[in-house]
Amino acid sequence: SEWVQDQMMWLRTLLLLGLVGRLLDECSGHSSEDEDYYMQELLSREHYQRVLEDRAVGKETKPRPAASRPAGGSDPASGNLSHTHTHTHTHTHTRPAGGSDPASSLLTDCPPLGLETLKIDDFQLHASSMRHYGLGPHRGRLNIQGGLYEDDLYDGGWCAGRNDPLQWFEVDARRLMKFTGVVTQGRNPNNYYRRRNEVTTTDNLDFRHHSYKEMRQLMKVVNEMCPNITRIYNIGKSYNGQKLYAIEISDNPGEHELGEPEFRYTAGSHGNEVLGRELLLLLMQFMCQEYLSRNTRIRRLVDETRIHLLPSVNPDGYEKACEAGSELSGWSLGRWSQDGLDIHHNFPDLNSVLWEAEARKWVPRKFHNHHVPVPDWYRSTNATVAVETRALVSWMEKIPFVLGGNLQGGELVVTFPFDRTRSVTALREATPTADDHVFRWLAFSYASTHRLMTHASRRVCHTDDFAKEDGTINGASWHTAAGSMNDFSYLHTNCFELSMFVGCDKFPHETELPEEWENNRESLLVFMEQVHRGIKGVIRDVQGKGIANAIIAVDGISHDIRTASDGDYWRLLNPGEYRVTVRAEGFSVSSKVCSVGYDIGASRCDFVLGRSNLSRIKEIMQKFNKQPISMRQRLRQRHLLDT
């Protein structure tokens, strides 16, 4: 009876272990429906091991029947105990220097493991100990930065709980994996078997990293393919003299068409964030090909919008990062311009100027709430301003952009102004603009159409920004002394600018570019289409001539815009009814109610302004070379005549 009891207890233990194993699998994101997949992985591992053994002795590889695999024994490939639900822990082996790899012909590419991109999820990372949860094994990733507070859930990289040489860190690869090397702040593993959820693209595009010369050549190829809708130009030069090339995509390139909004995408302001650079090169290829294929959506976008793509704002920084390569470039190498400036945060601080004017109650009578002027010191030759930033400012002032997005990396989130805090004492706080509701919609339009940005299992890659569940955030909202490109664009021009952080990995491996393109392609198109939301129109005088610099104000929104040189304007607004008031120097004020619908396509809202009485009097007096006479002077002259 004791033997029977022992056997029953052993059976209960086995059942309990099986239940725990199933629960662990479900907790790590795998259910029983993946059993066949894991069985296939076991068979694949065994076959792969035989490939290595046979290649080593020069034999031909022949598949062995699945029945020959020992049931319940040890896995010959991994050395771990094999059960129905087994997670294979792959260990690192160092290859002798100068030795040959028996399976090198099978393993031609060497993509990253996926720690930085979060393809390796938190449940696959284990460690011998940790100081506290914010420094746990889930933070043992590439390019992790420290948090703001000591008790932050994402406080920094992994930190062991004890100070001894026996600490270890483990990655559960969940499949056979051959590691060819381990590099700090880099990666060079080899994933022989593709992930089940890896996305492939059907677009025939040039998926590779492009040097400066190759980028220029690719833009030339696109221009030659679509000469009627593209134009290449440069906005200036970098510190090292490299031209900042942009490409225009429009049905009438080279001209601003009346009533057609201007849109821009920029990338590479931080030279080591190269994914945005490659996405814009892919986007220009895609739009050219689809236009030639008579894609209705692309043709409408090109015919109704003047699109500008500037793929590399900081080519000097890119060269530094590219020289190190995607495996070793790190978090900061190439981030700054050649003279050590952060181009994205090198713009004048117009936030403080506006907020001080508001505190003094100068707005809107003495000080405008828009088109805040650039300080004189900023334009001086000895100011600490990058030549790339000066080129961007000149470009933004020259073209009446309506909407823009600058692509950055290292995170999966969309940020919008303001990027600075109002409170001097606050390290970080929400600082909304007067158009906060519009910016939120614009940010959500990109984030919600991204394949991963609003995924339920997504979390913040790093600790620069605290992304919300919808993948958006109201700026970085840091208290800094510098102005950002987003804030400057909103306060100095009519353009609403947002930042798209398009991937956790700043410098992804070439093999990941097709998947990253699929992740961002729809978002890139949808965001461009948002330039056609709100109201648009032309402000003319009674003779039909367009009025430049007329001010368009919307009741309830303390941020105005101005007309372009031809008198046309575009005002981004969410659906609803708005009372719009137009003012121009020398003209009478005009107001009307304008409605915005839910469908794509800005509502037309034109205005005709008549000359004001005062301006007509001044015009007449100037015509006859006379000055207006005040009433008191007239009465005095009349009194003298009567006497």
CATH number for 236: 3.40.630.10
The angle subtended at Cα 365 by Cα 361 and Cα 370, nearest 5°, is 90
In angstroms, the CA 356 to CA 405 distance is 28
Closest C-alpha to 556, from 573, 569, 544: 573
- 561 in any annotated domain: yes
Q: What is the pLDDT of residues 133-151, one digit of tens each?
A: 777 888 888 776 655 454 5
Does 438 share its domain with 467? yes
Does 558 share its domain with 418? no
Determine the pLDDT at residue 613: 77
Phi, psi at residue 617, to the nearest 5°? -65, -45
Phi, psi at residue 449, to the nearest 5°? -100, 0
Give the end of a domain, one of 484, 506, 532: 532
Alpha helix (H) residue ranges in 28-98: 35-57
Determine the pLDDT at residue 636: 65
Does 565 share its domain with 432? no
In angstroms, the CA 53 to CA 57 distance is 7
- 111 in any annotated domain: no
Residue 251: count other Cβ atoms within 10 Å of its Cβ. 15
- 436 in any annotated domain: yes
Does 373 share its domain with 520? yes
Determine the pLDDT at residue 70: 32
- 194 in any annotated domain: no
The angle subtended at Cα 337 by Cα 147 and Cα 118, nearest 5°, is 40
Asked if the peptide bond before residue 418 counts as cis, ω within 30 degrees of 0, the response is yes
DSSP string, 326-357: TTT-TTTTT-S-TTS--GGG-B---HHHHHHH
Does 511 share its domain with 522? yes
The angle subtended at Cα 321 by Cα 319 and Cα 326, nearest 5°, is 125
Query: Which positions of the chain have pLDDT values less than 50?
Result: 13-45, 48, 59-108, 148, 150, 185-197, 463-466
Does 471 share its domain with 607? no
- Give the CATH number, domain containing residue 599: 2.60.40.1120
- 563 in any annotated domain: yes
Determine the pLDDT at residue 190: 34
Burial class of residue 434 in the structure, from the number of CB atoms within 10 Å of its CB (0-12 exposed, 13-18 middle, 19+ buried): middle
In angstroms, the CA 405 to CA 265 distance is 5
Does 480 share its domain with 579? no
Structure tokens at 100: 């040959």
Does 567 share its domain with 517? no
The count of structural domains within the chain is 2
For the chain, what is the radius of gyration of the CA atoms? 31
In angstroms, the CA 563 to CA 566 distance is 8
Does 454 share its domain with 554? no
- 155 in any annotated domain: no
In angstroms, the CA 400 to CA 377 distance is 24
Does 522 share its domain with 545? no
In angstroms, the CA 490 to CA 322 distance is 32
Phi, psi at residue 72, to the nearest 5°? 75, 5
Does 443 share its domain with 564? no
Determine the pLDDT at residue 136: 84
The CA distances from residue 266 to 270, 279, 392, 402, 466, in Å, are 11, 10, 10, 14, 23
Determine the pLDDT at residue 2: 60
Give the end of a domain, one of 481, 504, 532: 532
Q: Taken in order 458, 464, 470, 471, is the CA torsion positive or negative?
A: negative
DSSP string, 580-623: EEEE-TTB--EEEEEEE-SSSSPEE--EEEPBPHHHHHHHHHHH
Q: Give strand pairing partners of 582.
A: 552, 590
CA–chain centroid gap for 384, Å, is 27
Looking at residue 216, its amino acid is R
Provide the residue range defining the domain that includes 333.
212-532
Give the end of a domain, one of 510, 532, 554: 532
- 369 in any annotated domain: yes
Does 513 share its domain with 552? no
- 23 in any annotated domain: no
Which one-letter DSSP state was computed for residue 245? Answer: E
Phi, psi at residue 505, to the nearest 5°? -90, 120
The angle subtended at Cα 514 by Cα 508 and Cα 520, nearest 5°, is 85
